[in-house]
Structure 1
Amino acid sequence: MIPVTCAHCGLKIHVPESVQGRQGACLNCGSPISVPAGDVPVVAASIDFKPNDRIGERYVIKSFIGRGGMGVVYEAEDTLVNEDVALKFLRRGVLRTEKGRRLFLREAQIARRLRHENIIAVHDVGFTVDGVLYLSMEYAKGISLREFLMRYRSNRRHVPVKQTVHIMLQILDALDYAHRWVVHRDIKPENIILLNDNQVKVLDFGLAKAVEENEAGNSGTDEQRKKKVVGTPVYASPEQMRHQPVDLRADIYTAGLVLRELLTLRTPKELPPEMPIKRSDVAPSVSLVADKAVREDKGERWQTARDFHDALKQAFGQSYQARTARTAGNVYPSKTSTEGMVFFEGGYFRMGNNAVSDESPEADMYVAPFWMDIYPVTIAQYERFLKDTGAQEPRFWRDPQVNGPDQPVVGVTWEEALAYAAWAGKQLPTEAQWEFAARGPENRRYPWGNTQPDTTRCNFGNYLGMPSIVTMHEEGRTPEGIVDLAGNVYEWTLDAFAPYERQRGGRLSLEKFPQKTVRGGCFESQNNEIVTSARKGLFPDVRQKNTGFRCVFAE
């Protein structure tokens, strides 16, 4: 049996020797896999090293990192400078022609000159005593973007748009810098590394071009050579697939494919470029930026990585980041500011929980765009309202256990919460707005995800015995940045507490449904009351030490 690794998803399989020299499809992702001929082993035996093996006079092998379509990578110590490096050994079948080897060495010299915070630095090029070519590179401890995407996919959660943009802007920064000297030709999730601090590193600049020249020089008919596409075909640009001249716009195309995959968790094979992005919290402006990058005609794409970068940054800034108040005469009240709020593009999401009677039936609900306070309204904020309006102090106002300036204001009735919201030029959230922010399109069980709650994420289970300051549980923020949607204090919403089928049906009788809905649980709540679908009814005139509110703003 012959070991074969999918260069796209990393799946390792063994195939019979009878299929040597043939091409098949990966059982996991469907990408093409070429099974090497008998005289071209997948990884030559001489590339297998053990800890403490020496490579030349300079390097000492430490550990195995990974194996891919072009070779194998080890962590090693560079004894000349006493630092860890990554050694990438190319399998013998990658560069079989003299022209390919010469071009590789030339491209490696170019790669050595690339010094950018988002590019894996190449330090050295050499040969083992057995003639195996290797690169000494910066050792970046992290995970590939492919592994990152697979984690989100296995958890059935979308990558937050903010994180997607953060990753893509770094990729495009790297391309903008490198394109002064070299075209990458093989941008894909496997060639992008994410470090622990979310810094991006792109690797393998120039390698694909050398392999392409090597393939062009191999023996075989013209028709056979035309069928070979260097890199991963599913991430190749149209001009690469047609064996036409390639320039930096090929990298623009493949970077666009990566952006679409970050937004949808679907590979280009699953979501071809001509199919639209369908995700409710992805702003149309962001989708348009991605769509332009993957146009078939390279003259219609973004013409540079900097153009792509700036367009994406602008689209995200205009659609997602908090905006300051507009002047009087616009649709915003003159005193309304969205500072300290997060913008939600809105869209459809799954609301409710059929397993709990008060939370059923589940339904797909649409929410229009809105802003939401990052934190519940605090004592300090409410004090400004009291001074400005002369309103009555709420219950517990002078209780030292709950009157710290950064604690959430409590003891307010539903009407008092409404009054504060009106004074601020905002509103109380509807149940749908509140659950959309807490649950997200990923259908999260808790605001931060599906991980069980603990005291780093929220104030629950009476472990403090009182409301905490609003910045205490930042670990429990939503992917969009909202804090304290689980535990601490119940939060008033605009809606009456009624069965969903009645509430969604239109106007409700106050006599039949006098209570208002609160959401999120409080510092005394157990797990079942802080899930994103949980709801409870309170009479609007109650004043409780465990009940506060936050505001939203919508046009």
Structure 2
Amino acid sequence: MLWHIPVLVLLVQLLASPGFAENVKDTSGTENMAFIAGGIYEMGSRRSLKELDPADLMNTDRHALGPENPAHHVHVDAFHMDIYEVTNADYEKFAQSEGEKKSRFSDNPDFNGPNQPVVGVSWKQAVKYCAWKGKRLPTEAEWEKASRGKRHIAYPWGNEPPDGNKVNFNEELNKTSPVGSYEAGKSDYGVYDLSGNVSEWTYDWHLPEYYLFSPKKNPQGFERGQYKVIRGGNWRNDAFNVNMTYRNATVPSMKNKTVGFRCVRSAEGK
């Protein structure tokens, strides 16, 4: 029975290894959520105006020239993220339970399908919904980690340009799609619609130059501001806006038909 000793030693070594620890997760209360492993990744865009020849400015990727610079390494703790954007059916249950206002577009047939993402809700309403579910809005850093993983890629699926098989964008449908419609467009973690369909509220206040001094571990945005960061682009946007480094922002009271949200939950349940 001495064979048990090397097997036990191997098991102890496996449990202690970083790769194994990265996959250990608390799954209680995380149905229909993807586990996003904690760790360091490169956030933001690598290119800048200084690196470009003036003759190339008209032809370069616009996403590399704004507040997405500079690229920088960030550590994000492990968390769980909703696989799908919050749907109208999800939000309706919350609104009825809590006496909250319905979506601004709850009567619009292009946007009110039960499996379409809810739109027309403010940042505060999104926060309330996530809290009702025992969750919260993702930080901007968490959102980008979920969309790119450890790879420095432009889109959740890789660097190939977006098309109608991967993402709802560029006004091809002129409305939102039911969540999870684009299998080819999901991220390495199995999260759907991070690119296109609807832009998504994040927790963070927006500051264009934030990446110049943001914390290296679990950044949560500037401490105050006028605008909240939204990510991912939407059904109206072109390839530039549905890129994973693109940063957009709007007033937290805004309710329109291009912005929805999804929730996250820290791995320890907070």
Same fold (TM over 0.5): yes
State the match for 1:383 in structure 2: 92
Q: 1:460 aligns with which of 150, 163, 169?
A: 169
Change (3 A) 1:486 1:352: same
State the match for 2:248 in structure 1: 536
- Asked if the contact 2:123/2:253 (under 8 Å) is kept, the reply is yes
Determine whether 1:323 maps to 2:27.
yes
Amino acid at match of 1:536: N
State the match for 2:34 in structure 1: 342
TM superposition score normalised by structure 1: 0.40
* RMSD value, Cα: 2.7
| Aligned residue runs from structure 1 range 243-254, under 5 A | none
Partner deviation per Cα, 1:443-463 (whole Å, 9 max, x = no partner): 121111122211111101111
Partner deviation per Cα, 1:45-76 (whole Å, 9 max, x = no partner): xxxxxxxxxxxxxxxxxxxxxxxxxxxxxxxx
Determine whether 1:446 maps to 2:155.
yes
Q: CA separation in 1, counterparts of 2:201 and 2:75?
A: 21
Change (3 A) 1:345 1:411: same
Q: 2:189 aligns with which of 449, 474, 480?
A: 480
- Asked if the contact 2:148/2:156 (under 8 Å) is kept, the reply is yes
Q: CA separation in 2, counterparts of 1:362 and 1:542?
A: 29
Structure with bigger helix share is 1
Partner deviation per Cα, 1:160-180 (whole Å, 9 max, x = no partner): xxxxxxxxxxxxxxxxxxxxx
State the match for 2:263 in structure 1: 551
State the match for 1:360 in structure 2: 69
Secondary structure of 1:419's partner?
A: helix
Amino acid at match of 1:518: I
Q: CA separation in 2, counterparts of 1:382 and 1:507?
A: 26
Q: CA separation in 2, counterparts of 1:379 and 1:395?
A: 11
- Asked if the contact 1:457/1:474 (under 8 Å) is kept, the reply is yes
- Asked if the contact 2:85/2:117 (under 8 Å) is kept, the reply is yes
Amino acid at match of 2:214: R
Q: 1:399 aligns with which of 108, 116, 127?
A: 108
Q: 1:437 aligns with which of 143, 146, 152?
A: 146
Amino acid at match of 1:340: N
Determine whether 1:522 maps to 2:241.
no
Change (3 A) 1:303 1:493: closer
Q: CA separation in 1, counterparts of 2:151 and 2:111?
A: 34
Q: CA separation in 2, counterparts of 1:531 and 1:398?
A: 31
Amino acid at match of 1:542: M
State the match for 1:300 in structure 2: 6
Change (3 A) 1:500 1:508: closer
Q: CA separation in 1, counterparts of 2:121 and 2:242?
A: 21
Q: CA separation in 2, counterparts of 1:517 and 1:419?
A: 17
- Asked if the contact 2:204/2:222 (under 8 Å) is kept, the reply is no
Change (3 A) 1:397 1:515: same
Amino acid at match of 2:6: E
Q: CA separation in 1, counterparts of 2:22 and 2:69?
A: 36
Change (3 A) 1:399 1:507: closer
Amino acid at match of 2:178: I
Gaps of 5+ in 2: 48-63
TM superposition score normalised by structure 2: 0.81
Which of 1 and 2 has higher RCO (CA within 8 Å, sep 6+)?
Answer: 2
Structure with bigger strand share is 1
Gaps of 5+ in 1: 1-248, 250-297, 325-336
Q: CA deviation at 1:545?
A: 0.2
